[in-house]
Structure 1
Amino acid sequence: MSGASLKVLVVGGGIGGLCLAQGLKRAGIDVAVYERDRTRDDRLEGYRIHIDPDGAKALHSCLPEKVWAEFTAGTVDLGSFRFLTEGLRELMELEPDAHRVPDGGPTSRSHAIDRVTLRDILLTGLDDVLHFGKKFERYERTSDGVVAHFADGSTATGDVLIGADGVGSPVRGQYLPQAERVDTDAFGIGLKLPLTDEVRAWLRPPLSTGRCMIMAPTPYFLSVSVFDRSAERPGSSGDDAYVGTAFVVRRGACPANIHALDGAELIRLVGRMISGWHPDLRRLVAESDPGSALLVPYKTSVPLKPWQSTNITLLGDAVHSMSPVGGMGGNTALRDADELRGQLVRLDGGAVSTEQAIGAYETAMLDYGFAAVRKALRYQDQGLRSGTIATSLSRASFRAMNGMMRRRARARS
């Protein structure tokens, strides 16, 4: 297939779809993104996202140099990662991977960036390929390609259709109706506490820097992450400096009406569950913004068997959604985007057929994608029972574990 004829349709303008569009446009491939949001400002909410080395490498491969520079300028250091008891006794500290990976370059370490900032960066330079207000309804395959149909009655024709349309993917619903998502045994409650001068006065280390995992002998745990760009942005808003918390709890420990609770009620619910924890943790939750409270039923995709490849495929949450524990979902979507970009470039150059290009992508994606699904579920389960494990482990045991993880990081590099 010649470069002049390849046209790629991407349904969904999340980080995976936008990263793919950036990579294809950079490679000179005709790409169009169809997003159901009415404008680019419809998604002005979110929390800090952890971009791991896989995600960073994918972004570096797909983004133009100027946009990659905007990404690195928009990130902050992750800081150390600490495991703490509910009384804030330190069990283990993991150093930032910038210190663990020998070359220390931006593609070999992790980054923290606000989700809204990341999406805004990924939209850079895509005005000519983005189509907002396009709610996908169905596709039809033709003898020479594929036609996408939208709710407003419009259509788009291309050679390849990519479903990057998230957990409720209509593309997946039509293409792979056998694909399942099932409930896990957990809810997540996300909260934000703006880092005002008043908060900075009482919030002390280790909660005021880096990331902390709070483990207790309970059916729930709490992760705490600091995002602070205020030093770089005088007069910055709450989106530039806040503490994000994620309370992960077994469903059986929650009231039956949890879905009906508003933000203030969710905060009070968490407060009751951690009533015996350190006062700083209780205050961190109690003073969080009720408007930021987000209840998320954690679900996971069921592993899929390989299927016959065509000119339709999926990426990100549309095919392998996972528990948010471990922060692998967005990074796996970025990895998908880079893997698929590489295969579509081969197709564009005539090196392979459509089925070969898509098939090679799907073979790799199903392997690493569902490995991440399993790992996220394992992390979630370990977190929900880690309090009992943590209280039985000695500090020496945690130091030994820390040493083992550092050796593995050096070996991977």
Structure 2
Amino acid sequence: MTLRIAVVGGGTGGLCLAHGLVRAGVEVAVYERSRTRTERLQGYRVHIDPHGAAALHECLPAEAWQRFLATTGESAHEFAFVTERLRELAVLREPPAADPSKAHHSVSRISLHQVLSAGLDGILWHDKEFVRYDLGPKAVTLHFADGTTADADLVIGADGANSRVRAQLRPEAHRVDTGIVTIVGKTPVSEAAARFTAGPVYVVAPPGCGMFTAPHLFPELALNDETAEIDPVHFDNTGSYVMWAYGARRLSASEETLRDSVLSLIRGWHPDLVRLVEATPHGTVSRLPILTSVPARPGIPGPVTLLGDAAHSMTPFRGIGANTALRDAQLLCRKLTSGIEPAVAVAQYEGEMRKYADKAVRTSARSAEQFVSESRLGRVVAKAMFRAMGAAQKLRR
């Protein structure tokens, strides 16, 4: 009997999985609530680490993999730790990987989505808002907001941090607000941003706050420019920019005053950091409350499972959320195409996924807490640790 798989959610992990299943000849349908392919195109850069790169390389057809590589920015091989006055604590450098499938990549979320959503005609269905599922004796029935239904033998909830599939499957698995808020913006590369184009910069700021910058640089225009005429500021995915994020607890500001609020908070920091924020267009600045999932007891594997943020929502700190979703897609694809019974494949996937995903959630949450730590002693220790790291690398060089 042919296994019918339904993926709820057309995000990074769900689309990567769909490509892998299609390549293996498995019948799959992806149901995405966005009305069109370009409706959800927004956001900032995303860091693809070697785990994510390996998953994309394994699941994507060769043409899509090359398209992904063509849309990535120039890879940075330098990570700096500095004070708010830009005094260097450490600069970590690593040589570029010869194999792109084992390398780090910087990619626009817009470009990544465009690459992943291409080549899935007749598989990726838009304007399909999932409402609920029913477990039947022979199939799982999906119900959508437009009144239609679809049947599948296995349903994979890849519908993000606010997953409706998870809410029905594991109602006890919820997210909590950490109390941390970040304000994020992107500054087009210019004289004001030039100092921050060598690679990511972690600002070890005064207690109670933190700042991070990361460049997204294109040697030339990216291949997919479908959104250039929609909103060149918010949706641009072909121009070079530096993304920055400022985080703290009890950070309140209206949408209209986000940039000015950050400027008032970093007054007295190095002028280059101030200029970076000042040069940021208002339309690119967003407020992002930081939430994380809480540990939940493993459920009994069945014909419905979860992937990515739906399974393990984590904070954006350390930049591992998208990579963990891609790792899920790679693992689940392997299990479902290995020839073992689907129920066994799902059980093995969930068992293995929990090990690395639970660790990623904890690591990410701990990094978020350290980013806004109010401990003066903690800041002193952190600076000493980074200085030691920098000295050790210089000695090795």
With structure 2 as the length reference, what TM-score do the two structures score? 0.91
Q: Percent identity?
A: 41
Residue 202 (structure 2) pairs with residue 213 (structure 1): yes
Residue 3 (structure 2) pairs with residue 6 (structure 1): yes
Q: How does 1:381-392 map onto structure 2 within 5 Å?
A: 381-385=369-373, 388=376, 389-391=378-380
The aligned counterpart of 1:87 is 85
Task: Find 1:125's aligned residue among 112, 119, 142.
Answer: 119
Q: How does 1:257-406 map onto structure 2 within 5 Å?
A: 258=253, 261-262=254-255, 264-346=256-338, 349=339, 352-385=340-373, 388=376, 389-391=378-380, 393-394=383-384, 396-399=387-390, 402=393
CA offsets 1:141-176 (integer angstroms, 9 cap, x no match)? 111121101010101111100000011111011111
The aligned counterpart of 1:158 is 152
Q: Aligned pairs, how many?
A: 383
Q: Which amino acid aligns with 2:90?
A: M
**In structure 2, C-alpha distance between the alignment counterparts of 1:146 and 1:210, rounded to whole Å:** 47
Shift of 1:219: 0.9
Question: Is residue 10–residue 34 contact of structure 1 (8 Å, CA) maintained in 2?
Answer: yes
- Secondary structure of 2:120's partner? coil
With structure 1 as the length reference, what TM-score do the two structures score? 0.88
CA offsets 1:68-119 (integer angstroms, 9 cap, x no match)? 1111111121231101111111111111462xxxx63112221100000000
**In structure 1, C-alpha distance between the alignment counterparts of 2:112 and 2:99, rounded to whole Å:** 19
The aligned counterpart of 1:50 is 47
Q: How does 1:170-189 map onto structure 2 within 5 Å?
A: 170-189=164-183
- The more displaced of 383-392 and 25-34 is 383-392
The aligned counterpart of 2:16 is 19
**In structure 1, C-alpha distance between the alignment counterparts of 2:198 and 2:283, rounded to whole Å:** 23
> Which ranges of structure 1 fall in alignment gaps of 5 or more residues?
408-413
- Secondary structure of 1:172's partner? helix
Alignment RMSD (CA, Å): 2.3
Aligned in 2, Cα 1:403/1:202: closer, same or farther, shift over 3 Å?
closer
CA offsets 1:16-60 (integer angstroms, 9 cap, x no match)? 100010100011101000000000000121101000111011111
Q: Which amino acid aligns with 1:128?
A: G
The aligned counterpart of 2:37 is 40
Shift of 1:328: 0.6
CA offsets 1:240-284 (integer angstroms, 9 cap, x no match)? 211111111123xx24xx3xx01x401111111100101111111
**In structure 2, C-alpha distance between the alignment counterparts of 1:96 and 1:110, rounded to whole Å:** 11
CA offsets 1:223-254 (integer angstroms, 9 cap, x no match)? 11111215356999643211111111123xx2
- The more displaced of 390-399 and 62-71 is 390-399
Question: Is residue 215–residue 387 contact of structure 1 (8 Å, CA) maintained in 2?
Answer: no
Shift of 1:202: 4.1
Q: How does 1:236-275 map onto structure 2 within 5 Å?
A: 238-239=236-237, 240-251=239-250, 254-255=251-252, 258=253, 261-262=254-255, 264-275=256-267
Shift of 1:399: 2.5
The aligned counterpart of 1:74 is 71
Question: Is residue 204–residue 210 contact of structure 2 (8 Å, CA) maintained in 1?
Answer: yes
Residue 217 (structure 2) pairs with residue 228 (structure 1): yes
Question: Is residue 90–residue 391 contact of structure 2 (8 Å, CA) maintained in 1?
Answer: no
The aligned counterpart of 1:108 is 102
**In structure 2, C-alpha distance between the alignment counterparts of 1:403 and 1:179, rounded to whole Å:** 45
Shift of 1:304: 1.8
- Secondary structure of 1:126's partner? coil
Aligned in 2, Cα 1:396/1:88: closer, same or farther, shift over 3 Å?
closer
**In structure 1, C-alpha distance between the alignment counterparts of 2:14 and 2:28, rounded to whole Å:** 11
The aligned counterpart of 1:411 is none
Q: Which amino acid aligns with 2:130?
A: F
**In structure 2, C-alpha distance between the alignment counterparts of 1:229 and 1:204, rounded to whole Å:** 14
